Structure 1
């Protein structure tokens, strides 16, 4: 499983969330909403430090990760985080492995 963050999404996390080097962002499955591959669930994110990591990437000193507790949600997919300029928010894409 891989996580990729496009530059405009990275900039959003730094500017809107106020992240600095050494920070972490955890992606998880949350109830309500939908994704490209899940009905009734959406992607949640929170500022957190990695603990029980399933996948991670470090961009500009910030660690973006999924922990093992959320393997059920991301299993079989890579996560690509892009950005919607009109809505001014990240977009989460599931890329089948």
Structure 2
């Protein structure tokens, strides 16, 4: 993790929070981890897309955003994908799931086109 760079943030829309509650059957105290995976793209990554999986007990979380008692994590081993970026996670009706949009957290601009990422089947919470 960068020394003086601001820590990345996860910003989740109310609609995606509701989707997680309904589709992932989340209850207060439970959570979701986000990570980068090979293949695909985001507006900030080429060759990598964002993934997510149910994770109630993360391994070394470096980001823990709590909303309505639910935890949304990035683990230390996955921080490379988020470093220097804030993630806006929203509901995408077209894929019936989360979409990810990244912005640099240093005030700079990205020179790419936004795209959504599909749900991941990565389920091992302690994978990293």
Q: TM-score, normalised by structure 2?
A: 0.71
Does 2:14 correspond to 1:7? yes
Give the aligned partner of residue 96 of structure 1.
104
Q: Deviations over 1:17-71 (max 9, x none)?
A: 1111111100000111111111111111011122211112101111001011012
Bigger share in helix: 1
Task: Work out which of the two has the higher radius of gyration on C-alpha atoms and give 1 or 2.
Answer: 2
Matched, 1:54 2:62: yes
What is the aligned residue count? Answer: 97
TM-score w.r.t. the length of structure 1 is 0.92
How far the C-alpha of 1:87 sits from its partner, in A, is: 3.0
| Matches of 2:74 and 2:94, distance apart in 1 | 27
Residue equivalent to 2:48: 41
Cα distance, 1:85 vs. partner? 2.5
Distance in 1 separating the partners of 2:32 and 2:9: 15
Runs of at least 5 residues in structure 1 that lack an aligned partner in the other structure? none
Pairing partner for 1:76 from 65, 80, 84: 84
Distance 1:68 1:86 in 2: 31
Which segments of 5 or more consecutive residues in structure 2 lack a partner in the other structure?
A: 1-7, 106-128
Task: Give the 4+ runs in structure 1 shifted more than 4 A.
Answer: none
